[in-house]
Amino acid sequence: MLLSVSGIEKTFAGKTVLKDASFTLDSREKAAIVGINGAGKSTFLNIITGELDTDAGTVALAQGAVTGYLHQNQNLHGTQSIYEELLHVRQDLLDEEAAIVAMEKNMAGVPEGKLTGYLEKYHALSDDFQRKNGYAYKGEVTGILKGLGFSEDDFRLPVGTLSGGQKTRVALGKLLLMKPDLLLLDEPTNHLDIHSIQWLEGYLNSYPGAVLLVAHDRYFMDRTVNKIIEIENGHCTVFTGNYTDYSRKKEIIRNMQMKEYLNQQRDIQHQEAVIRKLKQFNREKSIRRAESREKMLDRITPVEKPEELNDSMQIRLSPRVESGKDVLSVDGLSKAFDGNAPLFKDLSFEIYRGERVALIGDNGTGKTTILKILNGIIPADSGTVRIGTKVSIGYYDQEHHVLDPDKSLFDELHDAYPDLDNTTIRSTLAAFLFTGDDVFKLIRDLSGGERGRVSLAKLMLSNANFLILDEPTNHLDITSKEILESAINSYTGTVLYVSHDRYFINKTATRIMELTEGTLLNYIGNYDYYLEKKEAVTAAAKISGTPDNAEPLPKSENRAEQFRKDKEAKKEEKRRKAALKDCEDTIGRLEEKLSDIEREMADPANSTNAGKLGELQKQKDETDSRLEALYEQWEQLSQEVL
């Protein structure tokens, strides 16, 4: 056992954050702490590292184990470059390397009588350097920096001039190079694009130590952790499996707890009604029976009511007017800024009523620019944007430019929809968790997440039937994200959005458009389907030279046919994979059988038994023949699957 946390208690300003919180972590285990904003997740990490004292309980780390902690905010400064900052994480290796070089330079001047001892010391130092991976260390630094999204040109940037997000990535890189026995990561995917997150997933999956992280990225947790530690109302509950496993188990447990609570409440209410009725009879026997039942009620251990889902943020996005079938048509769109190379050029695509389309791509490829062009906020350099019949756009801007910072929440909605009465406005804001005097706060005083909720409230009240959303899940906690997912999935209009939240994309998208190298690739499915198809589409693009030929953006006249073909293709691909696996399993069994036959033929006990040897030879020939046919079948199936 690497880490043992037992009976942790912590209270702030009279509010209990953690109550008797306990869990353990083994040496290679990967776990995530989850809970709503303010539940105490970061507090828990600070207690584990010793940066925060506990009111009660203990934290025990295995003897000699080293911990590394990534905070949400970093305070890197100085003139050293990014590369130098990471290189000096292992100063011991740099010192050893310098010592080895110095010994090599001085070797020629060592007296012959001392040369043997000198060489022994040199080889011992070299072996130690090699054992610590010293010869590959600089390459590892480069690999980690590139994996975290830094280009080689970035390597020379002084750390003191970096943005907060860049400093966090540098700090993460330093931690990964340190390779502590226990990695503690607080929101490690913040400031990373999708490719960097995928790289980090692979790195953590092969990491030789234990990992304990706090994250809101559910897809990331699905792909990296095998244990979920939930903090709810101060209590700590441990679930085995990834986030999806936890979510499924949590729903079952919550339903069971609620059923048990409601059943007990029903029984209590029944007993209380009986007691009241018995007392109304006002007879000695009925009074005694009532008192007996009251004593029974007093002895009942109340079942604690499970925490209600935070479903007050019920987003109802139902367009009042249905749009035409063709919602958006874009042809030949191009855009460049300040004489730089174009972000994209000659982009063409169409969106149809009822679709939920996710626009994805690396940071800086122009995704938000496309949304701004569609909304008329900035002009395109060339190309046309045609909005369909009866289409009304509702735009969610990640920078919330649609909000006036000098207005209160109430005035922001009242001025946008002057025909609405005060009750409707306040009820709408309450649905987004703004109650009481909160509605009179100024927009400028809100956090990023609060501004996001105000923007979503404005969308809810609009007549929009085509929602264009730029990073709608930013700053939302997991519960709010799940509520938004449900609202988007039940929405009868059309949605186009930009997001880095892969779990959100996987739950809501019916089509994915990837903006890469200035052009669009199209995938008719969710994020899992995108990952499955990406390699094949990329390979086809290299051969044909036209990326979207692999899976063309659908035209209105063939969209239904495209979906039918795509469904059939998925079914056929599944059949081929199953056939390939069956073939591989059969080959494995026959190879084991062949080995057994050959062992029997080589057994001295059978060497003089001609009949036995003849039978074994016959079995060997038949098995060889079947294997030969299966090998050919396997090669053909492998080619089809590829």
* Residue 185 belongs to some domain of the structure: no
Average pLDDT of adjacent 10-residue blocks, the chain of 642 residues: 92 87 93 87 90 92 91 75 90 91 89 89 92 89 92 89 84 91 90 85 93 92 94 90 91 85 89 82 73 89 72 63 93 89 91 95 88 93 94 81 87 91 85 84 85 81 89 79 83 92 94 91 91 73 50 52 69 81 80 81 79 85 79 63 54
Q: Domain check: are 341 and 267 in the same one?
A: no
* Residue 321 belongs to some domain of the structure: no
Amino acid at 546: T
H or E stretch at 480: helix 478-490
- Rounded to whole angstroms, the Cα distance separating 488 from 467 reads 10
Query: Which two tokens mark 263?
Result: 């059943």
- Rounded to whole angstroms, the Cα distance separating 70 from 194 reads 20
Q: Domain check: are 552 and 600 in the same one?
A: no
* Residue 320 belongs to some domain of the structure: no
Q: Domain check: are 388 and 526 in the same one?
A: yes
Provide the CATH number for the domain around residue 347.
3.40.50.300
* Residue 135 belongs to some domain of the structure: no
* HSE toward the beta carbon, residue 143, CA cutoff 13 A: 11
- Rounded to whole angstroms, the Cα distance separating 245 from 57 reads 29
- Rounded to whole angstroms, the Cα distance separating 517 from 42 reads 38
Helix axes 448-461, 422-431, angle to 10 degrees: 130
Q: Domain check: are 282 and 350 in the same one?
A: no
* HSE toward the beta carbon, residue 484, CA cutoff 13 A: 27
Number of domains in the chain: 3
| Contact between residue 465 and residue 392 where contact means Cβ atoms under 8 Å apart | yes
Q: Domain check: are 375 and 515 in the same one?
A: yes
C-alpha 409, offset from chain centre: 32
* HSE toward the beta carbon, residue 538, CA cutoff 13 A: 10
Rounded-to-10 torsion of CA 432, 434, 440, 442: -60
Q: Domain check: are 505 and 618 in the same one?
A: no
| Contact between residue 204 and residue 7 where contact means Cβ atoms under 8 Å apart | no
* Residue 125 belongs to some domain of the structure: no
Distances (CA, A) of 106 to 103, 109, 110, 470: 5, 6, 7, 63
Q: Domain check: are 366 and 504 in the same one?
A: yes
Q: Which residues contact 544 (CB under 8 A, 6 or more apart)?
A: 550
* Residue 152 belongs to some domain of the structure: no
How many CB atoms are located within 10 Å of the residue 403 CB? Answer: 20
- Domain end position, chosen among 536, 557, 578: 557
Q: Which residues contact 17 (CB under 8 A, 6 or more apart)?
A: 10, 11, 39, 40, 43, 234
Structural domain including 385 reads: 326-557
How many CB atoms are located within 10 Å of the residue 189 CB? Answer: 24
- Rounded to whole angstroms, the Cα distance separating 585 from 261 reads 50
| Contact between residue 488 and residue 501 where contact means Cβ atoms under 8 Å apart | no
Q: Which residues contact 522 (CB under 8 A, 6 or more apart)?
A: 349, 511, 512, 513, 514, 548, 551, 552, 553, 554
- Rounded to whole angstroms, the Cα distance separating 538 from 564 reads 22
Paired strand residues for 68: 183
Q: Domain check: are 355 and 502 in the same one?
A: yes
Q: Helix, strand, or coil here: 96?
A: helix
Q: Domain check: are 494 and 516 in the same one?
A: yes
pLDDT value, residue 98 = 92
Q: Which residue from 489, 441, 492, 451 is spatially nearest to 472, judged by alpha carbons?
A: 451
* Residue 224 belongs to some domain of the structure: no
Q: Domain check: are 551 and 574 in the same one?
A: no
C-alpha 504, offset from chain centre: 9
Q: Which residues contact 79 (CB under 8 A, 6 or more apart)?
A: 158, 160
* Residue 273 belongs to some domain of the structure: yes
Q: Domain check: are 354 and 436 in the same one?
A: yes
3-state percent helix, strand, coil for the chain, nearest multiple of 5? 50, 20, 30
Q: Domain check: are 615 and 473 in the same one?
A: no
Query: Which two tokens mark 458?
Result: 């404005």
Rounded-to-10 torsion of CA 566, 570, 575, 578: 160
Query: Which two tokens mark 303?
Result: 């079942």
- Rounded to whole angstroms, the Cα distance separating 456 from 217 reads 21
Amino acid at 583: C
Query: Which two tokens mark 66?
Result: 């080293």
Distances (CA, A) of 355 to 156, 464, 492, 496, 642: 45, 15, 9, 8, 30
Tell me the whole-structure pTM to 2 decimals: 0.67
- Rounded to whole angstroms, the Cα distance separating 116 from 602 reads 53
